[in-house]
Structure 1
Amino acid sequence: MIVGCSTTLTDLEDYVKNHDRDFNTFEAIEECLKYFGSNQIRNVATVSGNVYTSSPISDLIPILVATKSSVILKSKFAERKVYINEDFFTGYRKNVIEDIEIISKFIIPMTLEKNEYIRFYKQAKRKYDDISIINACFYVKLTNDQTIEDIRIVYGGISFRVVEATQTSEKLIGLKWNKKMSETATCNLIKELFITKGSPGGEETYRNNLLLSLYFKFYLDVCQKLDGFKHENSVQTISGIQLFDAIPGENTIGKSLSIPAALKHTTGESDFICDMPKFENELIIYPIICPIACAKFNLKNREEILRMEGVIDIWDWKVFYDCWKWKSVSYYVSSIIALIATDETIYAGQPIYFVIATDLAMAEKAGILMEIEYNRVETPLLTVDDAIAANSFHKSKAYPSIELGDVEEEFKRSDEVLVGEVNVGKQEHFYMETQSALAVPRDGDALDVYSSTQNVGGDHRYIASILDKPQHLINVICKRCGGGFGGKENQAITTSIPASLVAEKFKRPTRYIMNRQIDMQVTGGRNPMKAKYKVAFSKSGTIKALEVTIYMNSGYSMECGYDVGIKCVKSVGGGYRIPHMSVNVKFCKTNIVSNTAFRGFGTPQAAIITESIIENIAHKLQLGSDHIREINMLKDGEPTKLCGHASLTSMQNDSLGKCWREMMKLYKVEERKSSIIQFNKENRWKKRGIASTVVEHYIGFNKGCLMQGNALVNIYRDGSIYLSFSGVEMGQGLNAKMQQVASSALNVEYDRIYIPDTSSYCTPNSTITAASCGTDVNGFAVLDACQKLNRRLNGVREKFPNASWEEIVEKAYIQQINLSASGHHKFEIFQNQDKNKSGDDGLYVVWGTSTTEVEIDSLTGDVVVLESDIVMDIGKSMNPAVDIGQIEGAFVQGLGLVLLEEQLYNPSSGQLITNGPGKYKLPSVSNIPRKFNVTLLRGGDDGEKKAIHSSKGVGEPAISLAASAVCAARKAVASSRFDDKNTQQFVIDTPATPSIIRNLCTDDLLLKVTEEEKRRQETLEKEWCVRV
C-alpha cells in the first residue's frame, strides 16, 4: 500500500475500512486508528506528522516497524528509501530525516498469505481519546504445521524510541505455536525489555505486566483464529431508563423544563468572562509559577523583562502585599490561600511573580524569557504517608470526631475483629471555565469585579477588606459560573483579588484568566484520605463496633478542611446501624496546594471507606456483601448519627429500605448475580462483578449564617418579570428552578421571567452556593418576594377576576402599588445540648442506593461499566429532567473518583505531573455505564417540609453511590485471583485505575514480573512519580 505524505488519518481509516481486513495489516491499522485521538484530531493529523514527530508512544509507528514499512525521502538533490525500524530513530523524538528532506510517501507491505497474522494493541488510562501507556504490534508467519517461520514483536512506550524485541524473536523462530512457545516468549521478553524503576512514565510494574499481557493477548487471538474463531468488533451502545412521576396540570412545579441557557450552552453562544469584550486600556495578569516546592527563587533579569514591549510591571510578593490593606478579614484570607510566595515557595505551582502586561501573548513571552534561579531548601512532603512519617499535622482548636457507645468494650467481646486501611486519592474539579476574573474601575472610586465564583458574597467581602473600601463601592458580578463543584467557593479569589489589586493600582480594567495547567497547579482539589480502621462483627455479619482514624491530606493550610472533616466523620457508616463508633480525623500538613471543598464535601470518601469495610467483612466471613448491608441497614425510625430535627436524627418513611427493595426488584439484581457467576466460570481473562451500595447524605451547612437567601422580584408594566437572587447558576439548573418557583407563585408563564447575573448590588450579603441547598435557601426567598407581591395584587385580582396578567399589572401600577419586592429566608438552627455538637447538621437527609455491574480485563486492568442502576429518594422532584441530570452527572464524576482520575506528583520537586487533560483523565463517553438507569422513588420523605415544594437537594448525594463501581471491580478482581487459587484479603485503592486492577490480578504473568524485579533487586527508592 502506498500512502502519500499528506494523507490524513481519517482518509487512511476510510480506505482500510473498505478493504478485506481479515487479520491483515488493514485490520491492525483500523484497530489503531479507532483509538487514535478523536475524530477532530484524525481529520487533520497525517501519517507523515506521526512519523516525523517520532514519539515513542506513537500508535502508528509500531505497525510501520512490524510490517517493515519504508519511507521515501526527497530533497532538492536526491531521493532515498529508508526502512522504518529501530535505527530510523536516533533519539527521543529524533530520526534520520535531514533538515533538507521532506517525506514523499510511505510503502506499507500487506500480509497477504494465509498463515500471516498481525495485530495492534494499545493500553491507555482511558480507552478512547487518550495517549498510550504502552502499545504494541505483533506479526507472525506460520508454516502449515503451525511452526513459526518469522515473527516481529514491537513495542512503544517502554523507551525513548519504539523498540523491537529481536532477541526474543530469534529464540521463537522454529518453535510450534503453542502454550510452551508462549511461556518461552514471555520469559524472554521480561528479561530483554524489562523497564527499571525510575523510568520516565512511572508505573514500572504495570508496564512490565503489559509487555507480557499484550503479547499473551496476541497469542490467544492467533490461537482463536487457528481454531476458526471469527473475531467481530461489536458496537457498544448506551441505553438507559429514567423513571419518575409525571405531574399533570399547567403548574410548572414538577415539570421537566430545560434550563434557560441550554440552547446557548449547546451552540457556544453563552458568554463567560473570557468572552467579554476587551477594554481599550485593559491590563492582563499572567502568573509565573514555581516548579519546585520548598525553594528559594530569584529573578535575575527583571530590568530586561520590564523593557519588553507591552510589559507594564512585574509584581513580587513585596509589591503585591504593599497594595494589600491588612485587616482581620484580609489576614484570614492570606492564612488560608497563599496567593503569592514570599521568600520561599510552599508548594510547586505557587505563583512567585505576576507579569502585568497589555496583551496575553506579551505576558507569556515575558514569562518564557525570565531567568529565574531556584534553590531547593528541603524535600517536600506530598502524601499522607510522608506526613505521618514526619509527624507533620495541622494544629486545630478542635478535631472532628464522633463517639458512640463503648468501642473498646465491644472489641473485647466480639466474635470477629478485622483491621485494615482504605486509601482515597485526590480529585481535580476540572470545571469547564477555569478561574477567571475581570476588575473594572468605575466612577466614584467604585469597582466592578466579574468573577467566576460560587461565592459572590465572599469575594465581595474579601475584596472590599483588602482594598480598604466600604462594601457599597464594590460590586461583584457573576452571570454564570462555568462549573464549580466546590472549587470556586474559596479559591475564586485566586484571580479576583489579584485582578482587583492591579485594577486599583493602575486605575485600569484588569483581566486574570488562568489557563488549564496553571489552574490545576494553583488551586486545590478533593482531599486525599487514608483511613485506618478496626471493626468488630458477629459471625452472621452484624457490625458491632467501628473505630476509624482518618488521615486527611489538607495541603499547606487547612482552608475549609475542618468542615470537610466534620462532614466526613459524620458520614462514615452512613446508612448503617453501628451502635459503637469512634471516628476521628487528623489533618496532614504537606507541601501541596491546599485542598478545598469538592462536590460531596467528605461524604464520598466516607462512603468509599464504609463500603470497603463492608466488602472486607463479607470476604472474611465468606458471605454476600449485600447480605451484610441488609442486616446492618438502618430501618424506619432508627437513629442516625446526626443531630437536629426528626428527619435528621432518625430514618423517616423507611426511605432507604424502599430505595433498596425497589432497586433489587426493578433491576433484577439477584438474577444478574447468578449470570455473573456463570460468566466468570466460563471466562479466564475477562471477569465481571456486581455490587450495591447506599448513601445517607445530609443537605445544607451546619453554620446558621450560611443558611439564608435573598431575592429581588421586579414586575414591569408590560408584565415581564425581573428575578434576581443570591445563588449562582453554574450548570446545576438553579435558574430554571427559581423560574419555576416564581412562575408557580405568581401564576405566570415560565418564559415571562428573566434572570440576570448574580450581583452583590442586587442581592447583598449573599452566601455560598453549595452543599446542595441552593434551591432551598434561594427558593424560599424567591417565594417570599412573590408572596409579598401576590398580597399587593390580590385586591386588583379580586376586583378584575377575568383580567389578563398584563392588565392586572397595569391596573396595579395606576393604583400606585409597588411592583418590586425583596425576599429573604432563613432556616432556624437547632441548638444541641452536646457541647461537641452545635446546631443542625443540615436541613434533611437524601437517601439513595445504587447497583453497578462491571467487567474487567485481567490482562490489562481495563474496566467497563456495564450497568448502573440508581434509586433515590429526593422527595417530590421540582424538575425531574434537571434532577436526574444532576444524579447522572454526579455519579459519572464519582466514577472518575473511584476508577480513573489520578493525580501524580514528582517526588523530588513536588510538581504536579497530571496538570492537564493530556495526563489527567476524566470519564469520557466510553466510561459511561452501557446501561444507565435512574429511578426517583415515589412517596419519598419530604424532609419535614424543609425542602422547597418538598423537592430535596440533589447535586451531591449521587457521587457517593459510585462506590458501588469500585466494589464491583473488587469482586471481579477476586474472581480472577480465585482462578489462581489466591483467596487472600486485598486492598483496592481508589482510583482503581487499570494499573491498580492489573497488579491485583495475581496470575503467572505477574509472577514473572515480580520474580524479575527481585532478581534485579529493584526497589522503590527511584520512583518517577508518587500518587497523592
Structure 2
Amino acid sequence: MSAENEGDMLCFFINGKKVTEKNADPETMLLSFLREKLRLTGTKSGCGGGGCGACTVMVSRYQPATKTIMHFSANACLLPLCSLQGAAVTTVEGVGSTKSRIHPVQERIAKAHGSQCGFCTPGMVMSMYTLLRNKPQPSMEDITQHLAGNLCRCTGYRPIIDGCRTFCQEENCCQATGAGDCCLNGDTNDDEAEHEKPRLFNKEEFLPLDPSQEIIFPPELILMSESASPQSLTFQGERMRWVSPSSLQELLQLKTRNPAAPLVMGNTNIGPDIKFKGTVHPLIISPTRVMELFEVTQTPQGVWVGAGCSLSELQSLLEKLLLQSPQEKTELFRALIQQLGNLGSQQIRNVASLGGHIMSAFPNSDLNPVLAAGSCRVSVISNGGRREVPLDQNFFVRDSAFCLYSLLQEGGVCPSFPTGSEEGEQLLHGDHRDEGVLLRGVSVVQDVSIYYGGMGPTTVSASKTCQAIISRRWDEETLSRAYDVLLEELVLPPSAPGGKVEFRRSLTLSFLFKFNLEVLQRLRDMNVITDEVPEKMQPLPKEIQPSLQEFQSQSEQDPVGRPMMHRSALSQATGEAVYCDDIPTTDGELFLALVTSSRAKARITGLDVSEALQLPGVVDKVREMCGYEEELLAESEVSCVGQMLCAVLADTRAHARRGAAAVKVGYEDLPEPIFTTEEAIEKSSFYEPLRSIERGNVTEAFKTVDQIHEGEFRMGGQEHFYMETQSMLVVPVGEETEFNVYVSSQYLSFTQDAIAETLGIPSNRVMCHVKRIGGAFGGKVFKTAILACITSVAAWKTNRAVRCVLERGEDMLITGGRHPVLAKYKVGFMHDGRIVAADIQTNLPSNTAFRGFGVPQGLMVLENMINDVAMALGRPADQIREMNMYEGPSITHYKFAFSPENLRRCWQECKEKCEFSARRSAVQEFNLQHRWRKRGMAIVPVKFGLAFSESFLNQAAALVHIYKDGSVLVSHGGTEMGQGLHTKMQQVASRELHIPASKIYISETSTNTVPNTSPSGGSYGTDANGMAVKDACQILYQRLEPIRKKNPKGSWESWVMAAFLDKISLSVTGFYRGPDLYMDWEKMEGQPYAYFTFGVCCCEVELDCLTGDYRTVRTDIVADIGKSVNPSMDIGQIEGAFMQGLGLFTLEELKFSPAGLLYTRGPSQYKIPAVCDVPLHFNVYLLSDSDNPHAIYSSKGIGEPVLFLGSTAFFAIKDAVSAARSDSGLFGPFSLNSPATPERICLACASPLTQKIPASKPGSFTPWALNI
C-alpha cells in the first residue's frame, strides 16, 4: 500500500495469540496497549522513558535470510505499537502463571526472596527470561549485563542475583543453594555443615529449566514473512502519521518529500521527546523494513555495518570478529565493545540503531568519540546518490537531506606491529576510547587522533593538541605540552549546560594521562623503552561474588523465625499481583492530569483552560478547592516550581495530559525567591521553634580540650524513587456521598480524614483501600493524601470514577524527598581521641518523610566530625569511634537509659567477620603499590530508636475472621509495601492459632475493616500490628479451648464447625496499646523511643583517582534485630536499606536550575543504585542470642536503621581519597560532601592534573545548577 493510503492492518502476536489492529495510533506505545486495551497489567510503568526496566517484554522476530528467530528484550514504554508488524511479543503473563504453570525464572526469583514490593519483578523476570531463551546456561557476566537495565528500590539486588545465579552452568558454590554459610569460609562445605546452617532457600526444590516448554514462534508469522510481497505500511493516528517503507528507494523518496520527518528505528530518542517535551511530528518514517540498512559486509578495508543494525547486533558482530582476527588488528573493535557495554541498558541497545545513535550526535555519546578517533567512515545516501564521509568533528552537524546508510570500521585491518620491529606500526586506543595514536618503533608519534564527548554540543576533536604531539617523541615533555594545549583548546564556560565544569575539564587531562600509561606499557612490551611503567591501569573489579547470610532459624514446626517466602512473591513474579493502577477501568471512568507551576515565586495573574476544554476527550477541570486546612491548589501565589494549580479531566490518559499541557497560566514574578540553605539562613526563613539539646557547659568544655576543629558539611537530598508512582482511583458509590478510594498510601486513615474534610462529609462515607504498594519509603503519606483529595473532588464534581497516576517526572517534581542539610560544627578533643565538646548547627529546607526521617542526616554530620578528628590526629577512624562509643549501662544526652551491650557485640563481631585488621593492612599495602588506584576501608556503627515519638500513633488494631471451613481472614491497619508485613502477620496468626500459614489469607488494608489506622512507617509496622493480630488470635484460640477439650483428637476444621454450631463468635478485633513515649524539649529530656536497633557495617572500596569512579569491593553488616520473625524478610530489608543508603551518600544527586526547576526528573538524569553498584561481596549477619522485651516475639524493627550504614561506603571512599591526597603531600581533614559522586571524589583527590584546572570565581557567573 502506498504512503498516501489510509489505515493498513497491523498484525502481530502477544503471548501466542494473534492481534490485529486496524486503527493503530503512532503515538500509542506497546505498554499502554497492553495495559489499557488488552488488560495485561503485569507489565508495569515505572518511568515511561526506558530507564527502569519495569516494562520489559520479549520481542521475537523471524529472520528470512538466515531462517532463524531472534529474541530480544525491549522497553514496552518506548516500543511504538506500529513497529510491531510481524513480531511476536511475550509478556510476563505469557511466561507462566500461578493458575497453570510457574516458569523456573519466576519461581527462583520469588523463592530466593528477590521480590519485595514486587513492582519491578515482572521486568526482572522478562530480562532474565529473554537471556535464557538465547543462552540457557548463562554466565554471571551475562546475568549482570542483562539485569543492568532493571531498577529495584527494595531488595538491594542480592536475592535477585542469587535466584538468577542458579541458572549458571559454572555455579558450584554452596551459595547457589541459598545456604547461610559458604565454602568461602573454609571447611564448611561438607554435608554436616550443610545441615547445620539454615538456608534462605533450597536450590534442590527448584523446577528445572526446560526450553522445550516455551511458547513457539507463531508459524503464521514465518509464513507471512517468507511469502509476503514487500509493501509499505501506513498508520494514521489523531495527530501523527506513521509510514514504514519497504525499499531503500521508497525511503529516499519519502525523506526527500518530507525532510523534517524523523527516521525512527528504536524510538529511544524521538519517543522521549514526544512523551516528555510534547513534540509533535506530523509524519514519522520508520525504515525498519528496509533490508539494505541491515546489511553487513566485510571488505579488505574493514567491515561495513548497516545503519539500521542495533547496538546489540553491532556488539555481537564485533565479538565474532575478535575471534577471527589477531589481537593487534582489533584494537578499535575492543574499544567499541567496551563502550557498548556501558552504553544504555540491554533493552535500549537491543532496539537503538547504530545510525540513529550517530545521527543523534549526543554531546555525551559513548560511541561517537571512539568511532571518530578510529577514523571510521560513513556512507550517506540521498536521491542525489551515495557518498562516503569521514566520521570526524565536521560530520556531527544535522543534515536532514540524506540518510545514513552504513558505517565502515577500519579497526579490523590495522597494520600489525611485530615485537622488536622498528618499521612496524600499531594503533592504540585509550582506556576511555577517545584517543588513538600511531607510533613508530622509536616512540615517535606518526599520527594521533583525540576526540572527546561531553565537552561541547557534539563530539569534539582536540586537533591542536594532536598537532602538538605529532612527530614528537612520546615522553613526559610531549605529554606536558599536550596538557597545556588541551586546556587552552577545550574550554567550557563556568555556566555550561550539565555543570561539573572543573570535573569535565580535569577528565580531559585524566583520560590523556591514562592513555599515556597504556602507550608506555605497550612500548615496554615491544622493548621500545626499558623504563618501568609508573602504573598499569586495570578496570575496576566488577564480578559479583556469592555472599553470606547468617541467621538463627526456628524449628520447622514453628512458623515464626523461619525464612518464609513473601506471601505474594509468586503472584508478583507472574504479573498477577494487583496494584492500584492495575484495577480494571469502570464505565465512564475519567483520568486526571495536573497542571503545575513553572515559576518558583510568583503571583498568578491568569489561568485559562478554555483551549484545553476544546480538545478531544477533555471533559472538565478542577480548580476551586475548599474544606481542607491546607491549600491544595495554589490560588493566588505559587511558592515553588511544581506546585499544583489545577487538574484536567478527560476520557483517556493521553487526552488528559494533552489537556493539561494546553492550560495557559499567567505569572507575575515576585522578588527574592529562596533556593539554598545559605539564602534561607541569611533571610531567617526557617520554621520556629528551633529545637536544641545541650548537655553540660559546652563553652567551658572547649577550654579544657587539647585540640579544636571547626568544619562544615553539606549533604544533598534524595528522591524516594518508589517504583510505583503516586496512584489512586476514586469511585463514587452513587448514594449518600459515599466513595470507595483505592490509593497507594502508607497512612489510610490520614487520607480518609483529609478527603472527608475536603468534601465536607463524615469519614464513614469514605472507604479507603490498599492491597499492596509498589514501594513507599515515607513518600506516600502526606502528598498522597493531597492528591487523593483533588481526585476525590473531581469524582464528586463529575459523579464518575476518576483515576490519577503520576508520571515519574511529575512525581519527582511534586512530592518532595529527603531533606538536604548544611551543618557547621566545632569539636573539641584530647590527643588520645576522646571527644569532650561539640557544637553543631544545621538548617533544613522543607521536604517530606523519608526512610530514617532526619536521623541519617544527623548521624552523617556526627560521623563526618569524628572522621575529621581522626584525620586531625593522624589516627584510624575506627579507633576514635570505638573510643567514644557507649560502654556499660548508659544514658543518652536526652536522659534515656539503655544498655549498649549488643552495639558492642555488633562492633566486635563485625570486625571479626570481615577480618578487619588483616584487610586494613592489605589496603595499606595496596595503596603503597598504586598511585592512581586506591582502596579505602571504614567501619561505622548505628544506634536507631524505634516507635513514634508522637505517642498516640503507637497503637494498632486487627480484625480476624474464622470461616466455617476453617479458613482464616486477617485484616490489620498496616500496609504492605514490600517490607513483608502481610507475610509476618500471617506467621503471627499461624503461630497463635496453631494452624498452617496456608489456611490464613490477608486480602487488603481498608478503613471499613480496621478504622483509625496508624502510618506504616518508623520500622514499627510489625511491632504494632503484630501485637494486635496476636491479641485477636489468642482470644479466638481461647474461645475454641472448650471445643478442643471435648474433642482433643479432632481437626482444626471440626473444631471451627463445632464452635459455629455452638454459636461461638469466630470474629475478633485485637488491639495493641503501645508505649507512652514523650520528649520534653524545655527540659531537654524524655523517652522518645521504645528501644534501639543496633548495627555495624564495614566497607572496602576501590577507586580510580583519575576519574572518581569507584566500586564497593566488600560489605559486611552485623545487625541486632532481636529474634527475627522472618530472617529472609529482615535480611532483605537490611540489604535494601544499605543500598538505598549507598545511593544517598555516594550516588543520588538532585539538581535544580537557578530558577528552581528540578532537572533530575527520571532515571536518565537521577541515578539510583543498579545491579552494577552491588558490593562484589555482600555479607549480612544477624546477631545471635539477642532479646527484646519491647516488641513481638523479641524481634526488632529493621527497615530504617540500616539505611545509615550505607554511609560506610562514603567513609571508605574518603579513606581512599585521603590516601591519594597523601601522595600529593596533602594531609589532615578535608572537605568531601555527600553524595560522594565521581566529580567530588576526583576533585578531592587533588591530583596534579586536577590542580591544573583553574577554579571559576564564585559570584562571577550563573551556575547551571544550584548547590542546594
TM-score, normalised to structure 1, is 0.89
Check whether the contact 2:874–2:1228 (CA below 8 A) recurs between aligned residues. no
Of 352-361 and 833-842, deviating more is: 833-842
2:726 to 435, 438, 441: 435
1:366 maps to which residue? 659
Matches for 1:69-84 after TM superposition, within 5 Å: 69-84=376-391
The amino acid of 2:1179's aligned partner reads N
- Rounded to whole Å, the distance in 1 between the matches of 2:659 and 2:546 is 51
2:882 to 608, 627, 630: 630
Q: CA deviation at 1:354?
A: 1.2
Counterpart of 2:694 in 1: which secondary structure?
strand
- Rounded to whole Å, the distance in 1 between the matches of 2:1079 and 2:580 is 44
Q: CA deviation at 1:121?
A: 5.2
Could you say what the CA RMSD is over the residues aligned between the two structures, in angstroms? 1.8
Residue 223 (str. 1) matches residue 489 (str. 2): no
Counterpart of 2:572 in 1: which secondary structure?
helix
1:994 maps to which residue? 1238
1:854 maps to which residue? 1101
Residue 954 (str. 1) matches residue 954 (str. 2): no
1:745 maps to which residue? 992
2:427 to 100, 113, 117: 117
- Rounded to whole Å, the distance in 1 between the matches of 2:881 and 2:608 is 64
Counterpart of 1:206 in 2: which secondary structure?
helix
Q: CA deviation at 1:89?
A: 2.3
Counterpart of 2:560 in 1: which secondary structure?
coil
1:258 maps to which residue? 565
Check whether the contact 2:756–2:766 (CA below 8 A) recurs between aligned residues. yes
Residue 1025 (str. 1) matches residue 1265 (str. 2): yes
Matches for 1:340-739 after TM superposition, within 5 Å: 340-394=633-687, 396=688, 398-444=689-735, 445-554=737-846, 595-642=847-894, 649-652=897-900, 654-739=901-986
Q: CA deviation at 1:866?
A: 0.8
- Rounded to whole Å, the distance in 2 between the matches of 1:112 and 1:38 is 34
Q: CA deviation at 1:232?
A: 7.5
- Rounded to whole Å, the distance in 1 between the matches of 2:498 and 2:1065 is 67
Q: Deviations over 1:865-892 (max 9, x none)?
A: 1111111111111111100100010000
Q: CA deviation at 1:828?
A: 3.2
- Rounded to whole Å, the distance in 1 between the matches of 2:666 and 2:749 is 40
Q: CA deviation at 1:835?
A: 4.7
Unaligned runs of 5+ in 2: 1-302, 418-424, 526-532
Residue 781 (str. 1) matches residue 1028 (str. 2): yes
Pair 1:204–1:178, CA change in 2 (3 A): same
- Rounded to whole Å, the distance in 1 between the matches of 2:358 and 2:1044 is 77
2:1148 to 897, 901, 911: 901
Counterpart of 2:992 in 1: which secondary structure?
helix
- Rounded to whole Å, the distance in 1 between the matches of 2:963 and 2:430 is 66
The amino acid of 1:928's aligned partner reads V
Counterpart of 1:530 in 2: which secondary structure?
strand
Of 987-996 and 270-279, deviating more is: 270-279
Pair 1:225–1:251, CA change in 2 (3 A): same
Unaligned runs of 5+ in 1: 123-135, 555-594
Counterpart of 2:693 in 1: which secondary structure?
strand
Q: Deviations over 1:520-579 (max 9, x none)?
A: 01011111111111111111111111111111122xxxxxxxxxxxxxxxxxxxxxxxxx
The amino acid of 2:812's aligned partner reads M
Counterpart of 2:864 in 1: which secondary structure?
helix
Check whether the contact 1:641–1:649 (CA below 8 A) recurs between aligned residues. no
Check whether the contact 1:439–1:503 (CA below 8 A) recurs between aligned residues. yes
- Rounded to whole Å, the distance in 1 between the matches of 2:523 and 2:672 is 56
Q: CA deviation at 1:314?
A: 3.0
Counterpart of 1:626 in 2: which secondary structure?
helix
Runs of 4+ displaced beyond 6 Å: 229-234, 831-834
- Rounded to whole Å, the distance in 2 between the matches of 1:785 and 1:740 is 14
Pair 1:805–1:286, CA change in 2 (3 A): same
Check whether the contact 1:868–1:932 (CA below 8 A) recurs between aligned residues. yes
1:577 maps to which residue? none
Counterpart of 1:492 in 2: which secondary structure?
helix
Pair 1:502–1:696, CA change in 2 (3 A): same
Q: CA deviation at 1:226?
A: 2.2
Check whether the contact 1:703–1:839 (CA below 8 A) recurs between aligned residues. no
The amino acid of 2:776's aligned partner reads G
Q: Deviations over 1:847-904 (max 9, x none)?
A: 1111111111110111211111111111111111100100010000000010000011
1:186 to 471, 483, 487: 483
Q: Deviations over 1:340-364 (max 9, x none)?
A: 2222210011122311111111122
- Rounded to whole Å, the distance in 2 between the matches of 1:17 and 1:442 is 61
1:573 maps to which residue? none
Check whether the contact 1:414–1:537 (CA below 8 A) recurs between aligned residues. yes
Matches for 1:1009-1024 after TM superposition, within 5 Å: 1009-1010=1253-1254, 1013=1255, 1021-1024=1261-1264
Q: CA deviation at 1:82?
A: 1.9
Q: CA deviation at 1:511?
A: 0.6
The amino acid of 1:718's aligned partner reads D
Q: CA deviation at 1:1019?
A: 5.7
Residue 809 (str. 1) matches residue 1110 (str. 2): no
Counterpart of 1:185 in 2: which secondary structure?
helix
Check whether the contact 1:724–1:758 (CA below 8 A) recurs between aligned residues. yes
- Rounded to whole Å, the distance in 1 between the matches of 2:1038 and 2:1165 is 58
- What count of residue pairs does the alignment treat as equivalent? 941
- Rounded to whole Å, the distance in 2 between the matches of 1:70 and 1:459 is 61
Counterpart of 1:404 in 2: which secondary structure?
coil
Pair 1:30–1:231, CA change in 2 (3 A): farther
Check whether the contact 1:69–1:84 (CA below 8 A) recurs between aligned residues. yes
- Rounded to whole Å, the distance in 2 between the matches of 1:466 and 1:306 is 25
State percent identity of aligned pairs: 36
Counterpart of 1:19 in 2: which secondary structure?
helix
The amino acid of 1:460's aligned partner reads Q
Check whether the contact 1:869–1:932 (CA below 8 A) recurs between aligned residues. yes
1:558 maps to which residue? none
Q: Deviations over 1:387-424 (max 9, x none)?
A: 12223222x2x332211111111111211111112211
- Rounded to whole Å, the distance in 1 between the matches of 2:1003 and 2:1104 is 50
The amino acid of 2:1264's aligned partner reads W
Residue 983 (str. 1) matches residue 1227 (str. 2): yes
Counterpart of 1:641 in 2: which secondary structure?
coil
Of 656-665 and 80-89, deviating more is: 80-89
1:304 maps to which residue? 611
Check whether the contact 1:892–1:962 (CA below 8 A) recurs between aligned residues. yes
Q: Deviations over 1:788-818 (max 9, x none)?
A: 1011100011111111111111111111111
Q: CA deviation at 1:938?
A: 1.1
- Rounded to whole Å, the distance in 2 between the matches of 1:615 and 1:963 is 12
Q: CA deviation at 1:315?
A: 3.2
Check whether the contact 2:542–2:1111 (CA below 8 A) recurs between aligned residues. no
Check whether the contact 1:295–1:374 (CA below 8 A) recurs between aligned residues. yes
Q: Which one has more relative contact order, counting CA pairs under 8 Å at least 6 apart?
A: 1
- Rounded to whole Å, the distance in 2 between the matches of 1:627 and 1:976 is 21
The amino acid of 2:1234's aligned partner reads T
Pair 1:106–1:877, CA change in 2 (3 A): same
- Rounded to whole Å, the distance in 1 between the matches of 2:460 and 2:995 is 70
Q: CA deviation at 1:24?
A: 1.0
Pair 1:266–1:752, CA change in 2 (3 A): same
Check whether the contact 2:335–2:370 (CA below 8 A) recurs between aligned residues. yes
Counterpart of 1:413 in 2: which secondary structure?
coil
2:313 maps to which residue? 11
The amino acid of 1:817's aligned partner reads I
TM-score, normalised to structure 2, is 0.73
- Rounded to whole Å, the distance in 1 between the matches of 2:603 and 2:1081 is 48
